[in-house]
A = this chain, B = another copy of it.
Amino acid sequence: MKRIEIIQNVLEANESIAAQNQRLLDSHNVFAINIMSSPGAGKTSLILQTLSKLKKKLSIAVVEGDVASTLDAEKVRNEALAVVQITTRYMSENCSLIANMISHAIQSLPLDDIDLLIIENVGNLICPSEFILGEHKRIVISSLPEGDDKPIKYPMIFAGADAVVINKIDFLPYVDFDVPSFQNTIVNLNPTVKFFKVSCKTGAGIETWCSWLLNEIKTNQPVK
Residues of A within 8 A of B (CB): 3-4, 6-7, 10, 38-40, 66-69, 71-72, 89, 92, 94-95, 122-127, 143, 145-147, 149-150, 152-156, 168, 171, 174
Chain B nearest CB from A70 CB (Å) reads 10
Closest to A3 in B: B92
The answer to whether B125 touches A126, judged by C-beta atoms less than 8 angstroms apart, is no
**Which residue of B124, B156, B171 contacts A126 across the interface (Cβ within 8 Å)?**
B124
What are the residues of chain B within 8 A of A66 when measuring CB–CB?
153
What are the residues of chain B within 8 A of A143 when measuring CB–CB?
145
Q: In whole angstroms, how far apart are the Cα atoms of A114 and B6 in the complex?
A: 39
The answer to whether A40 touches B156, judged by C-beta atoms less than 8 angstroms apart, is no
Q: In whole angstroms, how far apart are the Cα atoms of A10 and B124 in the complex?
A: 21
Given contacts A40-B150, A152-B68, A156-B67, contact A125 B123 (CB under 8 A): yes
Q: In whole angstroms, how far apart are the Cα atoms of A39 and B70 in the complex?
A: 23
The answer to whether A147 touches B40, judged by C-beta atoms less than 8 angstroms apart, is yes
Chain B nearest CB from A49 CB (Å) reads 16
Supply 15 A–B pairs (Cβ within 8 Å), ascending by A: A38-B38, A38-B146, A39-B146, A39-B150, A39-B154, A67-B155, A68-B156, A94-B126, A95-B95, A123-B125, A123-B154, A124-B124, A124-B125, A143-B145, A171-B174
